[in-house]
Structure 1
Amino acid sequence: MFLKRGLFASLLLGAFWLGSVAVANAAPEAVKPDAALRAAFPQVPFDSVTPSEIPGLYEVVSGQSIFYFYPDKELIVTGEIIGKDLKSRTAERRGALAAKVVATLPLEKAVKIGDGKISVIEFTDPDCPYCRKAFEYFSKRSDVTQYVFFAPLAHPAAITKIHYILGADNKTQAFDAMMLGQDIPANAKPVTEAVKTLAQEHLNLARKVGIQGTPTFYVNGQQVVGADTKRLDELLK
């Protein structure tokens, strides 16, 4: 009886092992999310595909843009993921991506304002009212060095003021005058091709960083969008 029971048990274990091997061999290999995205949307360029905070949903980075991919249904999802603190997780990730690009910006092409120990990189527009509010804020601080790039995204007519600032002998003085709403002096120097090229470089850099509105600031790798003086106070302590 013992031998029969032992033989039965051995046969049962053998059958289980063979069945497991057969199932394992038959199971299809899981398709990686990036391969699935490429297969479903071959026309969509992307740099990386990583898991998001939501199970089954993947974050896709394309340049400075972020969207989401749901492989199970082959769906692209656009929009923001908002946390319970009502802050956009997506915006935070965009800011982190932009900060990496900002770290490589050619600061020698910016307009340097001040000589404080804290560096602030700014994308601004002389015709933007919120930019002027931020200008008032920084005009009261002596502990900051601003590196200003111009991005007239919403006010293309501001380009004449930008040309004036970039071509001025005293760029700080010209910047102050334009941010205070003054007119371009009648005796201003003619705009050169070099100045026009520099202004276009500023705009190209803003697009490379992914600037969507002005003013936008970067302080120690942290992004501040808008004239958020409370947040600036926190970062400039």
Structure 2
Amino acid sequence: MRVWIVFFIMFSTLFAQDLYKEFVKEQVKQIPLNKAIVFGKGRVEIITFMNPDCGHCRKEWHELKKYPDKLKVYIFLLPFPTFPESRAKSDYIACSKDRIKALDEVLSGKMDGKVLNIPKCFLVDEHIKVAKLLNINATPYNIILKDYRIIEGYNPQMLEIIGVRK
């Protein structure tokens, strides 16, 4: 009897993991990657949702930007009302001619405390819609496209987990 219970638990766990992976795969199909800000040309693809004023997002960006040849990161900006400057910073990034440079400026803290009189950028609204569709309400939020794994929050070992850094 115990053998059957152990077998059932193991089978249920494996089945649940496969089912969850399929669920995430279906969600990813709904994400318009052509609306993302794309960083890198690498083979390891990640979708990430970031808030420009989120400290953990800034830490994650500091690590991601070191690997443009290994990573391809689809970035969606997700400003929160609790961070009053985050919408203007998101607009600044999304409507800049060089979005990656603007993203780096903002996530490096170079725009902190500066008054940005930037008109609202339609692309940021699109990013917010995608986050709402997926029920994402915290950042950073990462989807690893290789295996449809989700890493919520900042994980200092993420680059090791996905095989980019040893």
Q: Classify the TM-score, shorter chain.
A: 0.7 to 0.9
Q: CA deviation at 1:95?
A: 7.1
Which position in structure 1 is the counterpart of 2:142?
217
Q: CA deviation at 1:99?
A: 4.0
Q: Do residues 229 (structure 1) and 156 (structure 2) align?
A: yes
Q: Answer whether contact 2:47 2:143 (CA < 8 A) is retained.
A: yes
1:115 to 29, 41, 62: 41
Q: CA deviation at 1:211?
A: 1.1
Which position in structure 2 is the counterpart of 1:78?
none
Q: Unaligned stretches of 5+ in structure 1?
A: 1-82, 84-89
The residue type equivalent to 1:144 in the other structure is: L
2:66 to 99, 117, 140: 140
Partner Cα separation in structure 1 for residue 31 and residue 76 of structure 2: 10
Which position in structure 2 is the counterpart of 1:102?
28
Partner Cα separation in structure 2 for residue 198 and residue 94 of structure 1: 29
Which position in structure 1 is the counterpart of 2:55?
129
Identity %: 24
Q: Which has the higher contact order (CA 8 A, sep 6+)?
A: 2
* Aligned CA distance change for structure 1 residues 93 and 178 (closer, same or farther; 3 Å): farther
Question: How many residues in Structure 1 have an aligned counterpart in Structure 2?
Answer: 150
Q: Answer whether contact 1:153 1:213 (CA < 8 A) is retained.
A: no
Partner Cα separation in structure 2 for residue 94 and residue 156 of structure 1: 32
Q: CA deviation at 1:203?
A: 0.7
CA offsets 1:107-136 (integer angstroms, 9 cap, x no match):
110101111121110000010000011011
* Aligned CA distance change for structure 1 residues 94 and 213 (closer, same or farther; 3 Å): farther
Equivalent positions of 1:8-19 (< 5 A) are none
Partner Cα separation in structure 2 for residue 179 and residue 145 of structure 1: 18
CA offsets 1:23-62 (integer angstroms, 9 cap, x no match):
xxxxxxxxxxxxxxxxxxxxxxxxxxxxxxxxxxxxxxxx
Equivalent positions of 1:1-237 (< 5 A) are 97-142=23-68, 143-153=70-80, 155-157=82-84, 158-183=86-111, 190-191=118-119, 195=121, 197-219=122-144, 220=146, 221-237=148-164
Partner Cα separation in structure 1 for residue 99 and residue 40 of structure 2: 11
Given the two structures, how large is their TM-score scaled by the length of structure 2?
A: 0.75
Identify which range, 169-178 or 207-216, moves more after superposition: 207-216
CA RMSD of aligned residues (A): 3.2
Q: Unaligned stretches of 5+ in structure 2?
A: 1-8, 10-15
3-state DSSP of counterpart to 2:157: helix
Q: CA deviation at 1:98?
A: 3.9
Partner Cα separation in structure 1 for residue 150 and residue 25 of structure 2: 7
